[in-house]
Structure 1
Amino acid sequence: MENKVAMVTGAAGGIGEAVVRGLVERGVTVALVDRNGDRLEEIAKELRNAGGRAEAFPADVTSSTDVEDVVDAIEQQLGGIDYLVNGAGVLRLGPAKELTDQDWSTTFAVNTTGVFFISRAVVNRMVERGRKGAIVTVASNAAGTARVDMSAYAASKAAATMFTKCLGLEVSKYGIRCNVVAPGSTDTPMLTALWSDGDDSASRASIEGVAEVFRVGIPLGRIAQPSHIADAVLFLLSDQAAHITMHDLTVDGGAALGH
C-alpha cells in the first residue's frame, strides 16, 4: 500500500479517523474529507508532524459540485486516487411513522447519495487513467437486520450496500474492486451520543441485548473499537484482498448472528 493515494470521507472522527491513521501508518498519502474542517486539519497536522502524509480537504458529500471540486483538488495536489473509503454517515433515530421529511432526506443525502456522488467521481477518474483501484463503503449490520427506531438509517445503509455491489460488478473489468464493511455497535461519537443513561448501562444493554426491541446482544461480549472496523477496511483495500470484490464483511462481534 506504500506510496498509494487514498481518499477517506467522514475522516474527522470515529471509524473514518481510525482508517486514516491505519492508512498513514502503511505509507499511504491520505486525503481527509469531512465537513468539519477544523478537526480535519488537527488530525492532518498531527499525522504530518509524526512523519505521515495527510492533507485536509473540507467538503460536503451531499453536493455533487462540492464532490467533483474536491476530487479534482485531491488529484491535482496528491495524485491519482488509488483507494476510496466512504466513511461519512449520519444517524436519525425514531419510529418510522414519526420521522420528519428532513430526517429521511438528510439520512439518505449523506449515507446513500453521498456514497454515489463520491464513488462516481472517483471511479470515473480511475477508469480514465486506466488505473486499478479499491473502494470500501462503510455501511452497517442494520442494512440486513431490522432495528427498532432505525428505519431511515438501515434503509440508507442497505441502499449504499447494494449500490456499492452493483458498482463493483460494473467496474470489475477495469480492475477496480468495490466492497462493503458492515459494523455493529462501535465506540464512536455516533454511538455514545445515544447513551443518555450513562456509559455503563447503555453499553451493557448493547452487549446483553434488549428483548423488548427484538435486539440480540453481542456474542463476543464487547463493543467494537474503531480500529476493529478500520482493520477490516484496510484488509479489503489491500492486495491481500486482491481477488475479493462485491463482498459484504460484517464486523459486529456476532450481533447479527452471521447475517
Structure 2
Amino acid sequence: MNGEGPEAGVALVSGAAGGIGAAVARALAEAGTTVAAVDRDGDRLAAVVGKLAAEGLPVHAHPADVTSRAAVEALVEAVEQGTGPIGQLVCAAGVLRLSEARWTSDEDWHATLAVNTTGVFLLARAVVNRMVPRGYGAVVTVTSNAASTARAGMAAYAASKAAATAFTRCLGLEVARYGIRCNVVAPGSTDTPMLHAMHPPGAAASAAVAGDPAAYRTAIPLGKVATPLDVAHAVRFLLSDRAGHITLETLTVDGGATLGTPA
C-alpha cells in the first residue's frame, strides 16, 4: 500500500505551496497518488494546486498551520474522512531565520522550531496513529544537510532540522513492527525561494556552488545546486515499495557538498 501508482492511496504533503513541497506533490500525483497538499499560505497553495489540477493530477488543497495541534488534528481527520486513508506522509514545511547563534532572538528561535520540529511531531503523531491500526504506511521528513554539518548563521535552522531527524528515526524504530517505515531526505542547496533569499539577486546558485571558505562552507562537487524535483525523486523513492526494506535512514541530496557526511 505504500508503493507507486494508484495503489499508493493518499499522501499528505506539508509545505506544498512552493519549492520542494510543491515538487513532491507533483511527483506523487504523477505516480497516481492522490495528494492532500498542505500549507499555511492559502493563496499560494491554491495557485499551485490549481495548476496541478488543471493538468488532471489528483491534488487537493488543504490550508492549515502545522504548528497548531488543533489545526493538524482537524486537517488529518478531514483528509481521512473526505479523501481516504493516508498511506504516505511527507513533512516538507520549513522556515529559515538567519542569525548567528548568540544573536538569535527568542522569536526567531521559537518560530523556527515551531514549524521545522513541532510541525513534524504534530503531523507525524496524528497520521501515524491512524496508520498503526491499518498496518502500513511510509513517512518521509525533509530536513537539511545542515542537520549534521555546522553552518554559520543557521543555528536555529540546523538545530530544528537535527531534532526533526532524530524524532523521525525514533518514531520509525517504534512503529517498524506495525509495517510503517520512517525515513529522512536531507537536501543541500536547492533552487528554491529559501536559497535565493540568502543571497543577492541572481547570485544564489553560483554562490552555493562555489562555497565560502571564510564561512567554512565547501563547494558543491557536482557543480550545481539541486532542483526541487531532484529532492522530490528521492522522497518518492523512499515512499515507494522499491524502498520497502529501508527505514530509519537519511538520504542526503546535496551534490556532495558535505563530502558524504551522514546527515
Aligned to 2:152: 148
Given candidates 93, 96, 114, the residue that maps to 1:109 is 114
Deviation at 1:248, TM superposition (A): 0.4
- Name the aligned partner's letter for residue 150 of structure 1: M
Post-superposition shift, 1:206? 1.3
Q: Distance between the aligned counterparts of 2:79 and 2:91, measured in 1? A: 15
Tell me, in whole angstroms, the C-alpha distance in 2 between the residues paired with 1:219 and 1:45.
37
Q: 2-side partners of 1:126 and 1:118: how far apart?
A: 12
For 1:91, the aligned partner's letter is: L
2:98 corresponds to 1:96? no
2:32 aligns to what? 27
Q: Alpha-carbon deviation of 1:54?
A: 1.1
Deviations along 1:39-98, one digit per CA (max 9) or x if unpaired, are: 222222222222211110000000000000000001111100000000000001111111
1:39 counterpart = 2:41: no
State the shift of 1:204 in Å: 2.0
Q: Residue 236 of structure 1 aligns to a residue in which SS?
A: helix
Aligned with 1:82: secondary structure? strand
User: Could you list the per-position Cα deviations for residues 149-207 of structure 1 after superposition, in whole angstroms to 9, with x for gaps in the alignment?
Assistant: 001000100000010000000000000000000000000011111222x323x422211
| Alignment partner, residue 222 of structure 1 | 224
Q: How far 1:114 sits from its partner (Å)?
A: 0.4
Superposed counterparts of 1:63-82, under 5 Å: 63-82=68-87
Gaps of at least 5 residues in structure 2 are none
Residue 212 of structure 1: CA displacement?
A: 0.8
TM-score (norm: length of structure 1)? 0.97
What CA distance in whole angstroms lies between the structure 2 residues aligned with 1:69 and 1:43? 22
TM-score, with structure 2 as normaliser: 0.95
Q: Find runs of 4+ consecutive structure 1 residues off by over 4 angstroms.
A: none
Pairwise CA distance, 1:38: 1.5
2:190 partner letter = T
Map residues 180-259 of structure 1 onto 2, 5 A cutoff: 180-196=184-200, 198-200=201-203, 202-259=204-261
Structure 1 residue aligned with 2:140, among 113, 136, 139?
136
The whole-number CA distance in structure 2 between the counterparts of 1:169 and 1:138 is 18
- Contiguous gaps of at least 5 residues in structure 1: none
The percent identity for this pair of structures is 60
Counterpart CA distance in 1 for 2:22 and 2:39 is 10
| Counterpart Cα distance in 2 of 1:239 and 1:80 | 18
Matches within 5 A, 1:46-57: 46-57=51-62
Q: What CA distance in whole angstroms lies between the structure 2 residues aligned with 1:42 and 1:90?
A: 20
Indicate conservation of the 8 Å contact 2:151/2:217, yes or no: yes
Measure, in 2, the Cα distance between the counterparts of 1:158 and 1:5.
28
Residues 125-165 of structure 1 deviation map (CA, whole Å, 9 limit, x = unaligned): 1113x230100000000000000000100010000001000
CA distance in 2, matches of 1:86, 1:181: 10
Alignment of 1:3-22 (within 5 A): 3=6, 4-22=9-27
Opposite residue 206 of structure 1, the aligned amino acid is A
